[in-house]
Amino acid sequence: MAQQNFTLIKPDDWHLHLRDGDALRTTVPHTARCFERAVIMPNLKPPVVKVSDALVYRERILQSVPEGATFSPLMTLYLTDNLPEDELRLLADEPHVVAVKYYPAGATTNSDSGVTSIEKVMPALEIMATLGIPLLMHGEVTDHEVDIFDREKHFIDQILCPLRANLPELKIVLEHITTRQAVEFVSGENEQVGATITVHHLLFNRNDMLASGVKPHFYCLPILKRDIHQSALIDAATSGNPSFFLGTDSAPHALGDKESDCGCAGIYTAPAAIELYAEVFEQVGALDKLENFASQFGPRFYGLDTNTETIQLTRSEWRMPAHFEFGNSTVVPVRAGERLSWRLRGGTT
């Protein structure tokens, strides 16, 4: 008989967008229901470029943690062409801020203040390498001539390989990988390089977004790729290779910003993230590999302790709500209105 319950060391989400303001009342409880820690992306408007701003943002997040829950946001700074050295030194002494996020300017949501060329940020990256601060990279080139489905591969060839050669001491996470090439690149690197894998890139490929009508709620960046890439990601996530760990990139947008003639990129997976990872791992007979991917390999990469609590998942069908409140709007979650097969014990979605 198929397994009915399983217990997992409490997982962490190593890549998360919580947004700000009233949205936190929805996003924070959804993540805090099962994740102990999460790396919080800094692409707010304006972006989080100072340690002091990151700490104030962290306080706003903590105000939305439900009574009785424990949740520790791990903050990041947004890398601009001129992030001051002082901020990096402050970051290195501040345990609540753990990394710097690299957005190529124009690559995605609120990335206008991002990096315009890698040369401009090399001095900052050199300091980060010395201080042991990880660089979290959105790995896509932004050139209009480059096909959107090839942008990750080009980033690896043009930016990442030279960066690894020039600055091998820098710790790098290639975030939300989406291609076979990214899996191969990370697999061939040493322990200085890790990668997060989202649940939506494991569950879906570009047919889900495009094959029977354009579905804006499947639009994210990096964009969903063809099925051979999806298979490579599933193999990587379930391989037991510690370089690959859980990062949802759960990225909520108000309904009207998704269902629009110029819709925003992002899929809101937080309300069922761990349940959906369990679904994928079970489909390939690898439920026993989930704990390492979700709870062990991330802290190992970041040099942090593994959580001590546990969570339990039970095989029990439930239906994802069609939408959730989101400030003065609503947000449509992944699998809206559909059935899910795993349920978190004591979960409140």
User: Does 53 help bind Zn ion (rule: CB under 5 A)?
Assistant: no
Three-state secondary-structure class, residue 75? strand
**Cα separation of the two ends of the chain:** 27
Please answer whether residues 134 and 171 qualify as being in contact, where contact means their C-beta atoms are separated by less than 8 angstroms: yes
Residue nearest to Zn ion (CB): 249
140 binds, among ligand DOR, Zn ion, none (CB under 5 to 8 A by kind): none
Q: E strands, 259-309, where?
A: none
- The C-alpha atoms of residue 295 and residue 307 are separated, in whole angstroms, by 7
Size of the site for Zn ion (CB under 5 A): 1
Residue whose CB is less far from Zn ion, 140 or 249: 249
Residue whose CB is less far from Zn ion, 38 or 294: 38
Return residues touching ligand DOR (CB under 6 A). Answer: 17, 43, 108-109, 138, 220-221, 251, 265-266
Residue whose CB is less far from Zn ion, 14 or 293: 14
Stretch that binds Zn ion, among 69-77, 223-231, 246-254, 291-299 (CB under 5 A): 246-254
C-alpha to C-alpha distances, 8 to 5, 98, 240, 274, 309, nearest whole angstrom: 10, 25, 15, 10, 9
Catalytic status, residue 249: yes
- The C-alpha atoms of residue 81 and residue 79 are separated, in whole angstroms, by 7
152 binds, among Zn ion, ligand DOR, none (CB under 5 to 8 A by kind): none
Q: Least distance to ligand DOR from the beta carbon of 17, Å?
A: 5
349 binds, among Zn ion, ligand DOR, none (CB under 5 to 8 A by kind): none
Q: Least distance to Zn ion from the beta carbon of 103, Å?
A: 9
Catalytic residue among 12, 93, 249, 288: 249
> Which residue in 219, 244, 217 sits closest to 148, CA to CA?
219
Stretch that binds Zn ion, among 163-171, 221-229, 231-239, 249-257 (CB under 5 A): 249-257
Q: E strands, the chain, where?
A: 5-9, 13-16, 37-40, 72-78, 97-102, 135-137, 172-174, 193-197, 244-246, 310-319, 324-326, 329-331, 339-344
- The C-alpha atoms of residue 56 and residue 95 are separated, in whole angstroms, by 14
User: Does 249 help bind Zn ion (rule: CB under 5 A)?
Assistant: yes
By annotation, the residues acting in catalysis are 249
Write out the residues near Zn ion by the rule CB under 5 A.
Answer: 249
